[in-house]
Amino acid sequence: MNNRLRVLRAERGWSQADLAEKLEVSRQSVNAIETGRYDPSLPLAFRIARLFGASIEAIFQEEEQR
Amino acid sequence: MFCKDKTPAFKRYQRRVQVAMAAYFVVILSAAWVVKHGSLVGWKLYFWSVLPAVPIIAVIVGMARYLAEETDEFQRLIVTRALLMGTAALLGTLEVSDFLRSFANIDPFPPFTCFVIFAVTFGITNFVQKLKNKVPADE
């Protein structure tokens, strides 16, 4: 699954540590999601979407849709 | 998980394991001394023989509590994978040992072999995953 997490984070000038703190997860988790090595659960995806004020689909896309 | 990035649940887990391991060393040394010098028989011998297992069981319970308390799902996944690999190695070793005993009349593996295999596999898997997920300097 692809995602726009790194772009959205950069737009706000947040570091990975900043985002990890806001999501209450480790920086390893943020890095794994950003690099596509880990797909978050639905609850975490909702938390991410709420934080960026966007829908889940606007942040996460299936690979073939890209 | 590297030292600078420990979750609260992981810190609690570490504290519990440290306490359990400290208790283990006290108990194992006491049990070894008492069994050697105490001329124990019956339930007293059974009691002192089983006692060192209690702190080890506490470590296993600590792992279970960690998995229940960890709110960082990615960290939980890493530990779960390591536990599964450790369990697979443990069960595989037991199977090999049991078939060798059944068909080849070979003596069972030495005591504690299975737990050591579990612990080593768990540790190696955890370490490899930490290396694979090592984060670069923050942007």
Q: Per-residue pLDDT tens for A7-27?
A: 999 999 999 999 999 999 999
Chain B: nearest CA to A14, how far in angstroms?
Answer: 8
Residue B135 sits at φ, ψ, to 5 deg, of: -90, 140
A25 contact B CB<8A = yes
Cross-strand pairs, A3: A60
Contacts of A15 in chain B (CB under 8 A): 138-139
| A25-64 per-position pLDDT tens digit | 999 999 999 999 999 999 999 999 999 999 999 999 987 6
Whole-number Å distance between alpha carbons of B99 and B86: 20
Q: How large is the ipTM? A: 0.86
Q: Do A32 and B133 touch (CB under 8 A)?
A: yes
Residue that has been written with the tokens 């595989």 in this structure: B92
